[in-house]
A = this chain, B = another copy of it.
Amino acid sequence: MVKINENYLKLEKNYLFIRIAEKVNAFQKANPDAKLIRMGIGDVTRPIAPVVVDAMKKACDEMGVKETFRGYEDSGAGYDFLRNAVSDYYRSFGADVPASDIRINDGAKSDCGNLVDIFGDDNIILITDPAYPVYVDSNLMNGRQIVYADSNEENQFAAMPAPDGYELNGQKVFPDIIYLCSPNNPTGAAYSKEQLAEWIAYAKQHGAVILYDAAYEAFISEDNIPRSIYQIDRAKEVAIEMCSLSKTAGFTGVRCGYTVVPSELKTMASDGTEVSLAQLWNRREGSKFNGVSYPVQRGAEAVFTPEGQKQVKENIIYYQENAHVIAETLKELNIPFTGGINSPYIWFKCPFGMDSWTFFDKMLNEIAVVGTPGAGFGKNGTNWFRLTAFGDKDLTIEAMNRLKELVKNSQ
């Protein structure tokens, strides 16, 4: 008889955003006239740039003509025109990433979830807490053991490596695979070059691989914050980097991202032979992925042109201004927070000593503003709350005015 993967039964039933959606739906049913403002799920609201629309439409036309029609991509790793554009983009901020180390994907979520397939189930995983739930779930699905590095108020939500290891079942262990996300989802905190160098040294010391999520790099505004882990020496020997156009260029509905597995990244099989992780990953993708839609790849290419960069930066500035509005409100209310400077996320301490789901309900029911309870990202989020700057400017201002009223009236 068929046997299921029983690890799935150990996963939490409700994915964070599904639970939120249920609560929001119930609220809307009970309050059909309420003017709801959504600052919860990290989705963008600005349309995609005109150069991207034009490039995609041109590619659609090409697909309708025999002479320019494109079928399967040879490798499924992405067309050279796009891999080269991504490589040039990396070079523009000082990271040397050859096109051959880059694979184009349909958004970072797929690769983030699927990359773990090339690793054994007996690896110990280190995840910062709070974190994007996909890091946790995609490892629990294979029954891997997870240890957590606390990101909290004390370290400004930027967990650093523990020299003595992490506790697992009463023993101290060192992780084999380390997830880092900077600028961080959900906290908005970003690692400096020195901090990343420390993580790289730690990974090298313990033979660990870093899975680096750079999905929010386009929001970095401070000079000493690296856009890519490959701006740090020797990162290529330990780190895989995932990035996406979802937040950079509003591609949440267009679907395109990229993953870098450097050719320098080698490890050893149990029999002592050297193994290239890029080769394993290419083998995995060669069997389970057939490449990204051609018109989408042309749209992504347009993002990296000078005109594309100009247009997508206008949207990023728009969101950064929202982040500023949120940050100024929290300062005014004397509420501690991280993020908002190098990130579209603002992570703040729930007022009134509330836990985050209680504060979520209060915000929803009293001022019709939807945020994301920090508890959904791990235990260090229990009393914290995430707002995103991806909304409409007027609505963001309106929501912050409502928040001010809420806090003042409840004091």
User: Chain A residues in contact with chain B, CB under 8 A?
Assistant: 1-6, 8-9, 11, 15, 18, 21, 41, 43-50, 52-53, 56-57, 60-61, 63-66, 69-74, 106-107, 109-110, 112-114, 117-123, 133-134, 137-138, 141, 176-177, 206-209, 250, 252-255, 267-270, 275, 277, 280, 283-284, 286-296, 299
Contact = CB atoms under 8 A, between A and B. Distances in A.
A72 B60 contact: no
Contacts of A107: 290
A77 to B, nearest CB: 12
Contacts of A64: 47-50, 52-53
24 contacts: A2-B207, A3-B176, A3-B270, A4-B118, A4-B120, A5-B121, A6-B270, A8-B118, A8-B280, A11-B283, A18-B286, A41-B72, A45-B66, A46-B69, A48-B63, A48-B64, A69-B253, A71-B250, A106-B293, A114-B288, A133-B287, A138-B287, A253-B294, A295-B296
Contact of A63 (B177, B253, B268, B277): B253
A288 B72 contact: no
Nearest to A73: B253
Given A11-B283, A106-B293, 11 more contacts: A2-B123, A2-B209, A5-B121, A8-B284, A106-B106, A107-B290, A114-B114, A114-B288, A138-B287, A138-B288, A254-B295
Q: How many copies does the complex hold?
A: 2
A289 B275 CA distance: 28
Contacts of A268: 1
B1 A206 contact: yes
A137 B4 CA distance: 19
A3 B174 CA distance: 13
A391 to B, nearest CB: 12
A406 B122 CA distance: 55
Given A106-B106, A270-B3, A113 B253 contact: no
Contacts of A49: 64
A66 B47 contact: yes
Contacts of A123: 2-3
A133 B280 CA distance: 17
Q: Which interface residue of A112, A253, A286 has the most chain B CB atoms within 10 A? A: A253
Q: Which interface residue of A3, A52, A121 has the most chain B CB atoms within 10 A? A: A3
Contact of A2 (B106, B110, B208, B283): B208
Nearest to A203: B2
Contact of A69 (B4, B47, B141, B299): B47
A4 B287 contact: no
A277 to B, nearest CB: 7
Nearest to A267: B2
A293 B107 CA distance: 10
B269 A4 contact: yes
B119 A3 contact: yes
Contacts of A292: 106, 255
A56 B66 contact: no
A322 to B, nearest CB: 15
A280 B15 CA distance: 13
Nearest to A136: B287
A107 to B, nearest CB: 5
Nearest to A297: B253
A212 to B, nearest CB: 14
B72 A47 contact: no
A294 B251 CA distance: 10
A69 B53 contact: no
